Amino acid sequence: MPYVNIKITNENVTAAKKAELIKGATQLLVDVLGKNPNTTVVVIDEVDTDNWGVAGETITARRQKGQ
C-alpha cells in the first residue's frame, strides 16, 4: 500500500485543487510504479506559513517582502 504525504503551506488551497493533487499523485504511482490506485493513500498536510521556512526566514516573512 503506497503512502504519499504532500505538505503545502496553508494558503487557501481549494478542495478542488487538493482533489487534483490526490488524483495526480495516485495516477503517478500507477503510471510509474504500476501501483494499485485502490490501495494508494495520499495525505495532504497544510502547514502554517509561520511554521515553514526557506533560507532562514519564515514563509510569512518572505510573502510580506514579496518573495
Q: List the catalytic residue out of 2, 4, 22, 62.
A: 2
User: Apex CA 47: angle with CA 4 and CA 60, to 5°?
Assistant: 140
> In which region does residue 8 sit, left (phi positive, over 0), alpha (psi from -120 to 50) or beta (all else)?
beta
Is 2 a catalytic site residue? yes
In DSSP terms, which residues pair with 3 in a beta bridge? Answer: 41
- Catalytic positions are 2
